[in-house]
């Protein structure tokens, strides 16, 4: 089944997914959210937020911000 039909089945507007910048923005946003989740996982493993966890959290926030900015443009 075509991916556009999957998005239509869940009620997502087709015009959003027709734009390449929106699709790439969603991919970048997904990586950003995954990095944020990874930072909290690292903090749990290290029993505190150390430098690595803060760095991964900052990278995740930056990626998420860039993805949102990319979709807004």
| Biggest alpha carbon–alpha carbon distance for the chain | 45
68/73 Cα distance (integer angstroms): 9
pTM: 0.75
Element (H or E) spanning 50, and its range? none
* pLDDT 10s digits, 19-59: 787 888 899 999 999 999 999 999 999 888 898 999 999 99
């Amino acid at each position: 089944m075509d991916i556009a039909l999957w998005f239509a089945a869940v009620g997502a507007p087709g015009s959003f997914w027709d734009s390449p910048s929106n699709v790439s923005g969603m991919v970048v946003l997904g990586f950003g959210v995954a990095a944020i989740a990874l930072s909290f996982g690292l903090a749990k493993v290290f029993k505190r937020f150390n430098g690595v966890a803060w760095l991964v959290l900052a990278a995740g926030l930056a990626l998420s911000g860039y993805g949102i900015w990319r979709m807004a443009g």
